[in-house]
Amino acid sequence: MSAIEPVIHVEHSNRASRIGLAIVSCALIALAAAPWWADRANLRLLSEIYAYVALASLWNLLAGYAGLVSVGQHAYVGLGAYGLFALAMLAGVHPLVAIPIAGFAAAVVSVPVALLMFRLRGHYFAIGTWVMAEVFRLSAAQLSALGGGSGTSLPTAIVLSVAGSREMREFTLYWIALALAVAVLAAIVMLLRSRYGLALTAIRDNELGARSNGVDVVRVKYLVYVAVAFGTAMVGALVFLQKIRISPDTAFSVNDWTAYVIFITVIGGIGRIEGPIVGTIVFFLLRQTLADLGAIYLLILGAVAIVVMLKAPKGLWGLIADRYGWQLFPLERRLVIEKRP
Amino acid sequence: MEWVNTIVQGVLLGGLYAMFAAGLSLIFGVMRLVNIAHGDLIVLAAYIALVIVETLGINPLTSLLIVVPVMAAIGYVLQRALLNRTLGDDLLPPLLVTFGLSVIIQNALLQWFSADSRKLNAGNIEIASIHIGGGLAVGVLPLIQFALAVAVIAGLQWLFYRTALGRAFRATSDDQPVAQLMGLNNSHVFALAMALSLAIVAVAGVLLAVRANFDPSIGPARLIFGFEAVIIGGLGSMWGTLAGGVIIGVAQAIGAKIDPGWNLLAGHIAFLIVLALKPEGLFPKVQG
């Protein structure tokens, strides 16, 4: 051993990410305190935003990193929602406890689904996942205990069990929505910083290259698919606990839970963790300003997504990040070599 | 006898699904593009036919003379102006752009025609039927639909293997750069393929509109039926696509016979069973 031994470690954060993390932390504190400064309508809106941040982040992990372009993620939103209603109404489980159980149940279902769907390649995988969601939607319509095709509402007793007063109930669900979005983002950041994250980034950049460097691509894809199903179903369960009413068409809506989510991710920037957050903000800004236009609003959204895909395939955040080198989360890997005397 | 009747109706319905599938299969074969807006384009064709029938007062089947070239033109322009830019190694751009198109077409139709159900009236032919013995009767219209589906698929088969255009399609499908080197203009070839695909979509759309009620939201389900027929039949096999359509149609008819709620579900389950047992389809020809 020589006297001068280089010490090598990997640094994740840089100046931008430290500033970014500080901004994120301040924003989180302000958002957690929202029940004290926002009215009921705004709390609802914020909850909805959190749900879309979580859904889009999960889809981004699936499509942007693992290369699994699914257009059937509404299957898991619906499964989570129906799981929650079934657990609460038929098994008497406390609704808040039912959220993770519904997520777990959907993850269990996703295992055989993945086995079947991974037989389809590329585009056909995409439409295959959609077929699967249709199967679940049509099956849900056969569940007479949960109202069949017309759906059902949560009984008052179950709604009251979340919290006694209406105000506390709204606050509780708001905080859970925020916590779930933060948990999803934190889990994704941690996953991407682990060795699986390295594998995922490699798959994103070049699947063949990743494979030839010893990444077990199929295994990583399975894990991501099941984990994303788990998260997506929990978001679905929470969203419909807030709505109180469920039906096959709303719980398994391809527009609400897949089309918007994909547009959000692409507009914000696919394959970057900040993309879905930026995309969700743009989506809600558009929605709040164009809400009066009805069907035209969706037409504009579709057109914006097409233009972004063709003109700026890395999305809005991609434009910013490439130009200024910004990153909100410490995900960079830089080799730091210190020479000690 | 009742069951024979159910199966016969299912087979005839399968012809329509095979026609949904043929256009999808064609463009996937030539340029590896899956058009998510395919079902919505079928519905668009139905609405174009509706406008023509209402304005000119002609029979829906005659309106094909206008709808087919109009849709083919839309296909050519769509491919050259938009879809050619999305082709490449990355899966996402074509998927997202056609998904966006799907949302745009659906909402544009919703805006102009409202969410009301519409139907095309083809006159007496709709209720005409032929008795084929044993108490079995087959509607003339479903029979025409099935015959048209067979004709379209036979025509595609002939075009692919017997004509210069078919050779160009197969050449670009096999190897795009080499096809270009041999003097083919790939953008033009792709646009012709899309034009042909949408010409078939036009026929499918008019037949759909005569057969049943339609509204702006039914496109995605048509895409899914067509997609299932393609996968069951095996990629690249035109006659396999017809068989796939028939299997979906028969499964749906049998499902509906057992319980109306099982109508669509039975078709999807037939698809999943084939996928589980024979993922390459029943009559595979090319590798995706």
The distance of B115 to chain A (nearest Cα, Å) reads 11
Residue of chain A whose alpha carbon sits nearest to that of B85: A310
Say yes or no to pLDDT of A14 above 80: no
CB pair distance less than 8 Å for A254 and B223: no
Q: In Å, how far from its chain's centre is CA A305?
A: 18
Evaluate whether residue B189 is within a structural domain: yes
How many Cβ contacts (< 8 angstroms) between chains A and B? 124
| Domain CATH code at residue B226 | 1.10.3470
The confidence band for A341, taking pLDDT boundaries of 50, 70 and 90, is: low
pTM for the whole thing? Answer: 0.90
Q: For the residues A306-321, what does the mean pLDDT come to?
A: 88
Q: A15-31 pLDDT, tens per residue?
A: 777 887 888 888 888 88
Report the 10 Å Cβ neighbour count for B277: 8
Contacts of A263 in chain B (CB under 8 A): 100
- Which tens digits make up the pLDDT trace of A206-216? 888 888 888 88
Residues of A in contact with B279 (CB under 8 A): 119-120
> Which chain B residues are Cβ-neighbours of A257 within 8 angstroms?
none
Q: Calculate mean pLDDT across residues B227-247.
A: 89
Query: Residue B146 belongs to what domain range?
Result: 2-115+137-277
pLDDT of residue A4: 64
List residues bridging with A7 in a β-sheet. Answer: A338
* A294 interaction partners in chain B (CB closer than 8 Å): 111
Decide if pLDDT at A12 tops 60.
Answer: yes
Backbone phi, psi, residue B246, to 5°? -65, -40
Would you state the pLDDT for residue B288? Answer: 41
Enumerate the domain spans of chain A: 33-269
Residue B176 lies in a domain: yes
A177-186, A308-317, A321-330: least confident range: A321-330
Give per-residue pLDDT as tens, A239-284.
Answer: 999 999 999 999 999 988 999 999 999 999 998 889 999 999 999 9
Task: Say if strands B129-131 and A152-153 run parallel, antiparallel, or are unpaired.
Answer: unpaired
For residue B21, the model assigns a pLDDT of 93
pLDDT at A35: 84
Interface of A with B (CB under 8 A): 63, 67, 69, 71, 116, 119-124, 126-128, 130-131, 134-135, 138-139, 141-142, 149, 254-255, 259, 262-263, 266, 270, 294-296, 298-299, 301-303, 305-306, 309-310, 313
Number of domains chain B contains: 1
Does any domain span residue B287? Answer: no
Residue A137 has pLDDT above 70, yes or no: yes
User: Helices marked H in chain A — which ranges?
Assistant: 15-32, 34-37, 40-59, 74-90, 95-117, 122-140, 156-162, 166-193, 195-205, 207-212, 217-243, 248-251, 254, 260-268, 275-290, 295-311, 315-324
DSSP output for B38-107: HHHHHHHHHHHHHHHHHHH---HHHHHHHHHHHHHHHHHHHHHHTGGGG-SS-SHHHHHHHHHHHHHHHH
Taking 80 as the threshold, does the pLDDT of residue B60 lie above it? yes
Q: What is the pLDDT of residue A18?
A: 81
Question: Of A52, A82, A20, A62, which Cα lies nearest the Cα of A326?
Answer: A20
Is the pLDDT reported for residue B74 higher than 80?
Answer: yes
Minimal CA separation from A303 to chain B, in Å: 7
**pLDDT (0 to 100) of residue A340:** 63
Q: Can you give the pLDDT at residue A109?
A: 96
The per-residue b/e assignment along A29-66, b for 16 or more CB within 10 angstroms, e otherwise, is eebeebbeeeeeeebbebbbbbbbbbbbbbbbbbbbbb
Rounded Cα distance between A200 and A191, Å, is 9
% of chain A at pLDDT higher than 90? 48
Residue A167 above 90 pLDDT? no
Distances (CA, A) of A28 to A14, A31, A339: 21, 5, 39
* pLDDT score for B149: 92
Mind telling me how many Å the CA of B73 is from chain A's nearest CA?
21
CA-closest candidate to residue B97, choices A304, A60, A255 = A304
Residue B261 included in any domain: yes
Q: How far is B56 from chain A (nearest CA, A)?
A: 29
Q: Which residue of A has its CA nearest to B267?
A: A135
Q: Chain B residues with CB inside 8 Å of A142's CB?
A: 261, 265
Q: Is residue B128 in a domain?
A: no
More confident residue, A29 or B101: B101
Per CB distance under 8 Å, which residues of B are interface residues toward A? 28, 32-34, 36, 82, 85-86, 91-97, 99-104, 106-108, 110-111, 220-221, 223-224, 227-228, 231, 261, 264-265, 268-269, 271-272, 275-276, 279, 288
Read off φ and ψ for residue B40, nearest 5 degrees.
Answer: -70, -30
The fraction of chain B above a pLDDT of 90, given in percent, is 59
Q: Which residues does residue A335 pair with via DSSP β-bridges, in sequence order?
A: A10
Structure confidence at residue B287 (pLDDT): 46
Whole-angstrom Cα distance, residue B242 to residue B21? 8
Look up residue A166 and give its amino acid: R
Stretch A83-93: mean pLDDT, rounded?
93
Q: How far apart are CA A244 and CA A202, in angstroms?
A: 42
Question: Is the Cβ pair B100, A305 closer than 8 Å?
Answer: yes
The ipTM estimated for the assembled molecules is: 0.88
